[in-house]
Amino acid sequence: MINLETPEYIKNLTSGINNLAKTVLRPISRKYDEEEHTYPKELDMFRGMQILGRPKKKKKEGEENKSGSEGKPKKGVNLSTVAIIEEMCWGDAGLLLSIPNAGLGNAAIAAVATDEQMERFGKMWAAMAITEPGAGSDSGSITTTAVLDGDEWVLNGEKIFVTCAERSDCVVVWATVDKKAGKAGIKSFVVEKGRPGFKLEHLEHKLGIRASDTGTFVLDNCRIPKDNILGSPEVKTGTEGFKGVMKTFDNTRPLVASMATGIARAAVDYTREKIEESGIKLDYSKNPNNVSSIEKEFYLMEAHLEAMRLLTWRAAWMADNELFNNTEASMSKAKAGRYATLITQKACELLGPIGYTRDELPEKWMRDSKIMDIFEGTGQIQHLIVARNVLEMSSKELK
């Protein structure tokens, strides 16, 4: 039987995080929206806090499972993470993306790094560089190259729209080790800041999540150690190697979905407050066809918000239970990314003038939500992934 009750440990966890979001993030939300590219020093209090879950260490050959809990994750690390992120983004999504050591690159490292690499890079603030001027939604079109030269990889290329570009300690760079191999040749590499030939070209001025810095990197004969490659350097037949790299997205797409859910919830909560202040009493016992248009629109907002959360939690729960969640991760990202935009837009419409003034936050939430439908794979790409999985068709059969 499906139990839709929120687990008690999640309730206790989110209660404390919501207080942080309310007292730390909300009060400075507008400030750093206005002061783009300024690092929010208030976030130094989060240094050392583990936002992204860490994978269990691989059991060495011959090692016994002393706990007797093989295959049973500790109280849902992924589920806890998406719940935390929703609360933080209820406070401010751009500030969540600016929290030290919680970059998308950290999720990539957590997904595929060896135990030794986790020791080296696990405590660093890691950005992730995938998108290129000629490679956006199609990650398989990446042209940045990595050539092995003795004990070093030599990287050349350009990466754009990198989140936490200036503030991070290192960057997970996607590059091809063999162009002829196509997607199978795509690998990810950890490039530490300060490496010769690794230059931050410029920072972007953005529509939303302005508290987070986004930039462009140029790699010009950038040399990194041989063991900075994440996963195996072997180019496997077919697309198996690329699937290993893409596994990162199965971890990060539910995270983005929870970000979108947090922003949308902020808009729903604020809208409810203003509706009730206007004298309208929300009555869920009424037939939805016998209520005012404002009430009906609001009930739809709430329904979509709940669907966003349940899809996201489903994908996270599957990851905690070591189940293949590629379809569910894309479902959660597609639903949440799209409907966060629609919910925040509708909130601004229902709120009237206060929905668009810079004295209040709804117009900011509308701007912040748009990127949730774009980065970590656009909504269109998520629908394509889901369709391929449901129809059991390959990328060649269904484009």
Q: Is 71 left (phi over 0), alpha (psi -120 to 50) or beta?
A: left
| Catalytic-labelled residue, pool 42, 376, 392, 397 | 376
DSSP assignment of 40-73 equals -GGGGGGTT---S--PPPPPPTT---TTS-TT--
Residue with tokens 């986004």: 214
Q: Is 397 noted as a catalytic residue in this protein?
A: no
Q: DSSP state, 199? A: E
Q: DSSP state, 223? A: E
218-232 per-residue burial string, b: 16 or more CB within 10 A, e: under 16: bbeebbbeeebbbbe
Closest CA to 21 of 340, 266, 217, 225: 266
> How far is it, in rounded angstroms, from Cα 219 to Cα 144?
8
Please answer whether residues 87 and 17 qualify as being in contact, where contact means their C-beta atoms are separated by less than 8 angstroms. Answer: yes
Alpha-carbon distances of 170 from 167, 224, 289, 381, rounded to whole Å? 9, 12, 54, 28
CA 325 vs. chain centroid, Å, equals 15
Any idea which residues carry the catalytic annotation? 376
